[in-house]
Chain A
Amino acid sequence: MINLQLLSSGIIFGLSLGSIFFLMTIGLSLCFGLMRIISLDQLLYYSVGAYITFSAGALLGNIWLGVLCGVIVAGLAALAVERIVFRRIYERDLPFTMITSFGVLIGGVGVIKYFWGLVPRPVSEPIAARIDIIGTDIPVYRLVIVAMAVLVYAGIWLFLNRTIIGKAIRAGTEDVEHVEGLGINVYRLFTITFVIAGGLSGLAGGLYAPLIMVDPNMGLDVLAFVFMVVIIGGLGSIKGTLVSSFLVGQVVSIGSLVYAPLAQMAPFAIMLLILLVRPRGLFGSQLLKR
């Protein structure tokens, strides 16, 4: 049977995995919440963040600087895509934005292949130290990831609730026309949200890169998990995204301890169960396309 040590390391592994899932999906969730678009291209910024972390980290000799560069470049890429593509399609219905963003994702994967080639690249772990918790060896880096996710959640909460731009964004999720009526440029809010979302996806990629290899299809590999997290939590709900990403993280981690294939199957089963009871996920809203 599973002993305590294995279990505690499993839980901490699940926590860090959940944190990564949270950072990956928060961009999608933010975009859906305000703009009512399904922005699958967030996974492109995730890969971009990871690749820039790899390259800049190797160039500058410091992974943390690499992650910072990754976040910035991912944000810039998001800005460019928003200006060129999404600016034109905000008014369209959901499936339309989903297909378009999938096109951006696939095209972006092609661009990544063009620049970095097909070979998976390893990224060295920035913190090699390990810490002893209840007799189990835990890499400190995993705890750092959890702390980062908590910081990001707190930061987003503060941004949305304490700053005037954040309040305008929250108002925008309720009623865009009223916000426009107040003389606020909604499209600028959209741009800001999109760039923040892209940067956070880049952060997820940069932080996750040392734990896996970076390869061109990494965005597509996590697609299923991102979808499950978003569906379980409910589209557009930040709290729901947080809860469901930690739930999925734990299920994957502990499931793989019990029986390896469970890691992939169990979240899917949970998703189906939740959809049976609540077709809009745990915290999903009734909001439709405005």
Chain B
Amino acid sequence: MSVLRWWWGLLLAFALLAVGRVFLPLPFANEIMIFSLYTMGCNYLLGRVGFISFGQPAYLAVGAYAAAFYLFYVGSNPYVGILVGIAGGMMASLIIGPLFVRLRGDYFALVNLALAVIIFYLMQKVLAPITHGDNGLWFLTNLDSTPVLDLTRPEQFFIFSFLVVFALWAFYKYLDDTIFGACCLATKINEDKLRFLGYSSFTIRLVAFVIANTTTALAGALYAVYLGFVSPEITSPARAADPVVVTILGGVGTLYGPIVGAIVYTGMKDVLSKILGNWELVIGFVLVFIMLAGEKGIWGTLAPWLQKLMLRTAGGATDQAGGGR
């Protein structure tokens, strides 16, 4: 995990910001930002707690719809909308969490996907009078522009979403160093021992569940604000695997994994689906290939290599210094 020192991370991040702003088309860059946020929660659940969640779209939809309801019916400040989205996601995961985290890993995965599908029906059919069904809620013109970081303008939205992604990245990095982070890992590796040490694995899992799903809900709220539009499509079962695929593509349990995965995934989606017109085929084969090739993902494969490279340059530098003296 400590491939790069924290200030390297900071430097790299801002270099990426500049590169992204200059070279990437803006919608593409924004998509990457939101997608990496979306994946971070799933990555944490899978890599640290050992829960695979095929139901992340459910929490994405909760965040997106909470923000959308506020922006469509009540107010017009996008920042408040995002906060409402976060609050909605947190509340939803606090209500569902105690029931779900008791389950064994395999049941957890199945139940979550069922939840995503149910939320899809709920938004499409049952709550249709409020959510306008498949037509979705449009509120792009409702949004107020704010003085600093005007979210209605894509280039400023990019900076904002970048800051959010960076903050959460730092938060997850910090979490890894805390006792709580260690406990999370312990629930994955050896739950009995953790209980023996006097920790409640239920509480730890619940907190991790809430943190991860609130992150996902935040991604949903950002989606809503960015597109100015929400429809049940975001939680459709066909897209349920997206965050899991990106997590595995990037490298499970690595801090940079979600970002690398999101860049590659969005890039592949843009380029390959234009050429082949058959996106499922590509992603299915890529997923199976990565799983069979050792499930380390892109960052998981790159990291040791990068580490070696950096050690070598650092070692070379000290050698030179020694020789000079």
Asked whether A103 and B287 contact (CB < 8 A) given A110-B278, A265-B126, the answer is yes
Interface majority SS (helix, strand, loop, mixed), chain A? helix
Smallest CB-CB separation from B280: which chain A residue?
Answer: A110
Q: Which of B28-36, B114-122, B201-209 lies at the interface with chain A?
A: B114-122
Task: Give the docked Cα–Cα distance between A39 and B80 (Å).
Answer: 43
Residues of A contacting B262 in the complex (Cβ-Cβ under 8 angstroms): none
Alpha-carbon distance between A100 and B244 when the two chains are bound, in angstroms: 11
On whether the beta carbons of B285 and A94 are closer than 8 Å, the reply is no
Residue total for A at the interface (Cβ-Cβ under 8 A): 44
Residue of B nearest to A44 (CB): B284
Contact assessment for B121 and A99 in the assembled complex, using a CB-CB cutoff below 8 Å: no
Q: Assess whether A104 is interfacial by the CB under 8 Å rule.
A: yes
Shortest CB distance A237–B (Å):
13
**What is the total of A-B residue contacts with beta carbons within 8 Å?**
128
Is B288 a contact of A227 with CB atoms below 8 Å?
A: no
Is A35 among interface residues, defined by CB-CB distance under 8 A? Answer: no
Using CB atoms, name the residue of chain B closest to A223.
B237
List, in ascending order, chain A residues with CB within 8 A of B281's CB. Answer: 107, 110-111, 113-114
Q: A100-B291, A109-B280, A114-B281 are in contact. Are A95 and B109 (CB under 8 A)?
A: yes
Which of A108, A220, A221 is most buried by chain B, counting CB atoms within 10 A of its CB?
Answer: A220
Q: A264 touching B111 by the CB < 8 A rule?
A: no
Is the beta-carbon distance between A98 and B106 smaller than 8 angstroms? yes
**Which residues in A have their C-beta under 8 angstroms from that of B241?**
102, 106
A279–B122 Cα distance when bound, in Å, is: 24
Contact of A224 among B105, B107, B237, B279 (CB under 8 A): B237
Q: Does B99 contact A (CB under 8 A)?
A: yes
- Give Cα A114–Cα B285 distance, bound, in whole angstroms: 14
Kindly state the separation between the CA atoms of A98 and B245 in the bound complex, as whole angstroms.
Answer: 12
Q: Which of B107, B122, B125, B287 contacts A280 (CB 8 A)?
A: B107
Mark out the residues of chain B between 138 and 191 whose CB falls within 8 Å of any chain A CB in the assembled complex.
none
Question: Interface on A for B, CB 8 Å cutoff?
Answer: 38, 85, 88-89, 94-96, 98-100, 102-111, 113-114, 217, 220-221, 223-224, 227-228, 230-231, 235, 260-261, 264-265, 268, 271-272, 275-276, 279-281
Q: Which residues of B contact A (CB under 8 A)?
A: 46, 50, 52, 54, 99, 102-107, 109-111, 113-115, 117-118, 121-122, 125-126, 237-238, 241, 244-245, 248, 278-288, 291-292, 295
